[in-house]
Amino acid sequence: MSYPYQIKSFDEYKEAYQKSIEDPAAFWADIAQHFTWRKKWDTTLNWNFTEPKVEWFKGGKLNITENCLDRHIATKGNQPALLWEPNAPDEHNRTLTYSMLLEKVCQFAHVLKNNGVKKGDRVCIYMGMIPELAIAILACARIGAIHSVVFGGFSAQSISDRLQDAQAEFIVTCDGAYRGAKDIPLKNVIDDALIGNKTVKRVIVCTRTRIPVSMIKGRDVWWEEEMKLVEEAGITFIEAEEMDAEDPLFILYTSGSTGKPKGVVHTCGGYMIYTNYSFVNVFQYKEGQVHFCTADIGWITGHSYIVYGPLSAGAISLMFEGVPTWPNAGRFWDVIDKYKVNIFYTAPTAIRSLMGFGLEPLQGKNLSSLQILGTVGEPINEEAWHWYDENAGKKKCPIVDTWWQTENGGILISNLAGITPSKPSWATLPLPGLQMTLVDENGKEVFAEGDETVSGNLCIKAPWPSILRTTYGDHERCRLNYFATYPNMYFTGDGALRDKDGFYRITGRVDDVLNVSGHRIGTAEVENAINMHAGVVESAVVGYPHDIKGQGIYAYVIFNGKGINEALAKKDILQTVTRIIGAIAKPDKIQFVSGLPKTRSGKIMRRILRKIAEGEINNLGDTSTLLDPGVVEEIKNGKI
């Protein structure tokens, strides 16, 4: 498969960029014609950012799985589509060729249908990183059901909230999941999530760890038994459901500045075109290369760069069940050598954590197959960038620093590997189609004088094909969150710098969203969870720089009761957060305080709390508007 739209030089990039800005519809229509459509679209682009309303390729009929699977069968039916490395290095690995994957997807699509799933129904998927997760996703897409994958680290309460928000009637899960030395009882968590739930009709349980599970009659069925029925009937294929380009493909929940995660909705046509285009261009994918994205499919990175991007490009995508540090800190390098990985895409947190183990885990590793490296999810510091460049890439692999968000569907700012210039810790240039800009607090675009670097809030002035269409069940929320801060612009929530060459460096969130180990967590969500604890009166959560995680979570908590056992109370709070959100949202530091710095109108002055958490206690700025400035002294003295 060749990619006629793959950019081959910096000049070609500039030309493509220019074209994409002058006539976005013509630019993307030109790319879209290289995909499989049942019927061509009526209008390429229709949009306004006030409602907001964005439609790409409206009237076009397609099924994304025909583009990810069927269209590759003739030329590469026997080529691996998915390679799978299990958690334990001595367990058998698995290879699914394009033909095998298509067959499994079709069979599981029948299983879904047999269990009552119809086009448009929401299917919640809560599984570990096994091939069946990719199969379940694609099977939903095959029949037009809307998948909503929930990361395996989220708690029962989080799942329950998401099930309710999406009004999901179906769940696909596993008995358990292996992750490093741990095994996670996924089905038990689902059982807890379903207490009191009246909407879910069917739970399909795939076997992985075979820990004891309670299978409820009339509700729960085994994946393997259901598949066997289909296989025994000799069924190996299912006709793909014809979808409109603007029909929803999936919902993925993500954190924002309010207490409740939002269900970001992506649609079939635009998402497909953009994940493919960005995959092929950013990673400069060449036929036969092995692409290893270490993200979990529970996050957008896994959706776009393990499943849809690579498969729509006919690539070989490696899926890894385990973690980088188990059984030892050389695991990534072993996996790279075992599969002769060419493209390696991971998070700065993983790099920093491996740096902490020194160079010993790299001894004896070959790594000569590596050609391109990538990072995603958070700013990469220069030290980690150079370590990655020297030790993984041996200074011969371009590193792509890819900036994007769940709401974007695919990579928006990044160098194109080996094609456009890179600059350590800078995401660099926007991809074609992306009209980025920086604005000040009043929404006025800022421009540099001469050779200066400017800073501002990062916004986008026009839609690209995989921009979110809505937040599920609440369009107004989508408008308020992304399109209301600055008129006629999509606001990313990130701050950035732009240098004289037009390169962008992302400096981090400017809203109340934290980025912990590359995972997005809203401070309000964590506060809500802490406040659920019976002893907590009030809390305020901020981020602080953390050597490995990028950001750590610092919680200031007012606790009820004299003479409490602080150590125990902290543990109870952590347990509460684990119950309400999941272990990923546990505060790294908890400081008990008797009051919080508030303005006279009762607003918590987070700026001050952030400064204290960052250790800048002598530089707190103006505190004169505080109701009780004395409280700041106490907090400063008690800092941990």
- Residue 518: how many other CB atoms lie within 10 Å: 20
φ, ψ of residue 102 to 5 degrees: the values are -60, -45
* Pick from 592, 596, 588, 580: nearest CA to 530: 580
**Which residue lies nearer to ligand WTA by CB, 147 or 520?**
520
For ligand WTA, the closer of residues 282 and 593 by Cβ is: 282
Residue identified by tokens 């129904």 is 121
Q: How far is the CB of 494 from ligand WTA (least distance, A)?
A: 5
Among residues 24 and 377, whose Cβ is nearest to ligand WTA? 377
Neighbours of 616 (CB within 10 A): 11
Residue whose CB is less far from ligand WTA, 249 or 590: 249
Contact by Cβ (8 Å): 79, 149: no
Complex with ligand WTA: residue 463 or 522, whichever CB lies closer: 522
**Whole-angstrom distance between the N-terminal and C-terminal Cα of the chain?**
57
Smallest distance from ligand WTA to CB 378, Å: 5
Q: Pick between residue 557 and residue 585 the one whose CB is nearest to ligand WTA.
A: 585
Please, are residues 172 and 206 in contact by the beta-carbon 8 Å criterion? yes
Proportion of the chain in helix, strand, coil states, percent, rounded to 5:
30, 25, 40
Q: How far is the CB of 404 from ligand WTA (least distance, A)?
A: 5
What is the Rg, in whole angstroms, of the alpha carbon atoms belonging to the chain? 24
Q: How far is the CB of 148 from ligand WTA (least distance, A)?
A: 15
Closest approach of ligand WTA to the CB of residue 509, in Å: 5
DSSP annotation of 604: B
When the beta carbons of 59 and 508 are compared against ligand WTA, the nearer one is: 508
Q: How far apart are CA 255 and CA 323, in angstroms?
A: 24
CB of 518 to ligand WTA, least distance (A): 7
Residues that bind ligand WTA (CB under 6 A): 254, 299-301, 376-379, 401-406, 427, 492-494, 506, 508-509, 515, 520
**In the complex, minimum distance from the CB of residue 433 to ligand WTA, in angstroms, rounded to a whole number:** 17
Shorter beta-carbon distance to ligand WTA: residue 76 or 520: 520
Cis? peptide before 327, omega within 30° of 0 = yes
Task: Evaluate whether 370 touches 333 at the Cβ level (below 8 Å).
Answer: no
Whole-number Å distance between alpha carbons of 205 and 282:
37
Nearest approach, Cβ of residue 163 and ligand WTA (Å): 21
Judge if the upstream peptide bond of residue 52 is cis by omega within 30 degrees of 0.
yes
Contact at 8 Å (CB) between 178 and 87? yes
Q: Which structure tokens are listed for 116?
A: 């009552």
